[in-house]
Chains A and B, each alone.
Chain A
Amino acid sequence: MPFIPHTEADVSEMLAAIGAPSIDALFDEIPANLRAAPLAGIPPGLNEMQVMQLMRARARQDGLPLCFIGAGAYDHFIPSAVWAIVTRGEFYSAYTPYQAEASQGTLQTIYEYQSMIAALTGMEVSNASLYDGATALAEAALMAVRTNRKSKSARILVPRAVNPHYRAVCASSASQQGLKFEDVAYDPASGQTARSALAAWDNEDVTAIVIQQPNFFGTLEDVDALTDWAHAKGALVIASVNPTSLALLKPPGQWGTKGADIAVGDGQPLGCPLSSGGPYFGFMTTRMEYVRQMPGRIVGRTVDLEGRPGFALTLQAREQHIRRGKATSNICTNQGLLMVAGTLYTALMGSEGLSRVARACMARSDELVKALTALPGVRAAFSGARFHEAVLLLDRPVAPVLQALAERGIEGGFDLGKHYPELGPALLVCATETRSTDDIALYASTLRDILQTARTA
Chain B
Amino acid sequence: MSTSIREPLIFDYSRTGRGATAQWVAEEAAPALPAALRRVTPPALPAASELAVVRHYTRLSQLNFSIDTHFYPLGSCTMKYNPKACNSAALLPEFTGRHPLASEKHSQGFLRCMHELQEMLQEVTGMQSVSLSPMAGAHGEFAGVAMIRAYHLARGDVDRNEIIVPQAAHGTNPATATMCGCVVREISVNADGDVNIDELRAAVGPRTAGIMLTNPSTLGVFERRIEEVARLVHEAGGLLYYDGANLNAILGKVRPGDMGFDVIHMNLHKTFSTPHGGGGPGAGAVGVGPRLVPFLPVPLVGVEKRAGGEHFRLLTEADRPQSIGRLTGFMGNAGVLLRAYVYMRMLGREGMSRVGEYATLNSNYLFARLQKAGFEAAYPERRASHEFILTLKRLAAERGVTAMDVAKRLLDYGFHAPTTYFPLLVPECLLIEPTETESKETLDAFVTAMSEILREAAEKPEQLKGAPFTMPVRRLDDVRAARELDLVHR
Nearest Cβ on chain B to A124's Cβ, whole angstroms: 7
Nearest Cβ on chain B to A349's Cβ, whole angstroms: 7
Closest to B443 in A: A14
B199: interface (CB < 8 Å):
no
Contact B40 A250 (CB under 8 A): yes
Which of B28, B47, B100, B279 is the most central at the interface, judged by chain A CB atoms within 10 Å of its CB? B279
Contact B348 A44 (CB under 8 A): yes
A1: interface (CB < 8 Å):
yes
Contact B57 A362 (CB under 8 A): no
B259 partner residues in chain A, CB cutoff 8 A: 34
Q: A46-B348, A93-B67, A352-B24 are known contacts. Are A320 and B172 too (CB-CB below 8 A)?
A: yes
A114 partner residues in chain B, CB cutoff 8 A: 487-488
Number of interface residues of B (CB under 8 A): 203
**Distance A266 CA – B36 CA, assembled complex (angstroms):** 24
B38: interface (CB < 8 Å):
yes
- Interface segment, A59-67, A150-158, A373-381, A441-449? A59-67
A71: interface (CB < 8 Å):
yes
Contact B280 A333 (CB under 8 A): yes
Contact B43 A3 (CB under 8 A): no
A330: interface (CB < 8 Å):
yes
Nearest Cβ on chain A to B217's Cβ, whole angstroms: 12
**Distance A279 CA – B83 CA, assembled complex (angstroms):** 18
A87 partner residues in chain B, CB cutoff 8 A: 87, 91
A58 partner residues in chain B, CB cutoff 8 A: 109-110, 112-113
Q: A43-B348, A64-B97, A312-B481 are known contacts. Are A350 and B45 too (CB-CB below 8 A)?
A: yes
Which of B95, B113, B347, B481 is the most central at the interface, judged by chain A CB atoms within 10 Å of its CB? B481
A79 partner residues in chain B, CB cutoff 8 A: 20, 23, 50
Q: A42-B348, A133-B329, A250-B40 are known contacts. Are A327 and B436 too (CB-CB below 8 A)?
A: no
B462: interface (CB < 8 Å):
no
B351 partner residues in chain A, CB cutoff 8 A: 1-3, 45
A273 partner, pick from B28, B40, B96, B361, beta carbons under 8 A: B96
B288: interface (CB < 8 Å):
no
**Distance A75 CA – B93 CA, assembled complex (angstroms):** 12
A348: interface (CB < 8 Å):
yes
B224 partner residues in chain A, CB cutoff 8 A: 29-31
Contact A92 B65 (CB under 8 A): no
Contact A102 B327 (CB under 8 A): no
**Distance A113 CA – B387 CA, assembled complex (angstroms):** 35
B401: interface (CB < 8 Å):
no
Contact A176 B39 (CB under 8 A): no
Nearest Cβ on chain B to A267's Cβ, whole angstroms: 12
Closest to B367 in A: A18
B47 partner residues in chain A, CB cutoff 8 A: 350-352
Question: Can you list, as one digit per residue, whether each of B355-383 has a CB less than 8 Å from chain A (1) or not (0)?
Answer: 00110111011011100000000000011
A62 partner residues in chain B, CB cutoff 8 A: 94-95, 98, 102, 106-110
Closest to B108 in A: A61
Contact A178 B181 (CB under 8 A): yes
**Distance A169 CA – B267 CA, assembled complex (angstroms):** 21
B258 partner residues in chain A, CB cutoff 8 A: 34, 36
Question: In B178-200, which residues have CB < 8 Å from any A CB?
Answer: 178-181, 184
Contact A45 B350 (CB under 8 A): yes
B350 partner residues in chain A, CB cutoff 8 A: 44-45
Which of A58, A96, A363 is the most central at the interface, judged by chain B CB atoms within 10 Å of its CB? A58
A406 partner, pick from B59, B103, B331, beta carbons under 8 A: B103
B160 partner residues in chain A, CB cutoff 8 A: none
Contact B416 A99 (CB under 8 A): yes
**Distance A360 CA – B277 CA, assembled complex (angstroms):** 32
Question: Can you list, as one digit per residue, whether each of B413-452 has a CB less than 8 Å from chain A (1) or not (0)?
Answer: 0001100001000000000000011111000000000000
A239: interface (CB < 8 Å):
no
**Distance A291 CA – B428 CA, assembled complex (angstroms):** 31
**Distance A62 CA – B338 CA, assembled complex (angstroms):** 14
A72: interface (CB < 8 Å):
yes
Contact B68 A75 (CB under 8 A): no
**Distance A168 CA – B369 CA, assembled complex (angstroms):** 53
Contact A276 B330 (CB under 8 A): yes
Contact B329 A132 (CB under 8 A): yes
Contact B64 A279 (CB under 8 A): no
**Distance A5 CA – B90 CA, assembled complex (angstroms):** 25
A5 partner, pick from B62, B253, B368, B439, beta carbons under 8 A: B439
B293: interface (CB < 8 Å):
no
B202 partner residues in chain A, CB cutoff 8 A: none
Question: In A371-392, which residues have CB < 8 Å from any B CB?
Answer: 385-386
Contact A94 B276 (CB under 8 A): yes
A109 partner residues in chain B, CB cutoff 8 A: 57, 60, 278
Contact B487 A126 (CB under 8 A): yes
B89: interface (CB < 8 Å):
yes
Contact A314 B92 (CB under 8 A): no
Contact A88 B110 (CB under 8 A): no
Question: Can you list, as one digit per residue, whether each of B244-288 has a CB less than 8 Å from chain A (1) or not (0)?
Answer: 000000101111001100000001010001011111111000000
B411: interface (CB < 8 Å):
yes
Contact A363 B360 (CB under 8 A): no
Give 13 A-B pairs besides A41-B122, A56-B92 with Cβ atoms closer than 8 angstroms: A27-B360, A42-B344, A45-B346, A51-B89, A57-B109, A62-B108, A104-B473, A105-B64, A172-B146, A329-B175, A333-B137, A337-B275, A352-B24
Instruction: Please provide the 8 A-B residue pairs with the shortest distance between their CB atoms, ordered closest to farther.
Output: A45-B348, A277-B330, A89-B68, A337-B277, A172-B325, A336-B279, A277-B100, A61-B109
User: Can you offer 20 A-B residue contacts whose CB atoms are under 8 A?
Assistant: A6-B361, A27-B253, A48-B83, A69-B101, A75-B97, A93-B67, A94-B277, A104-B471, A105-B62, A108-B9, A111-B488, A115-B489, A132-B329, A135-B139, A172-B325, A274-B100, A276-B100, A276-B335, A308-B6, A352-B42
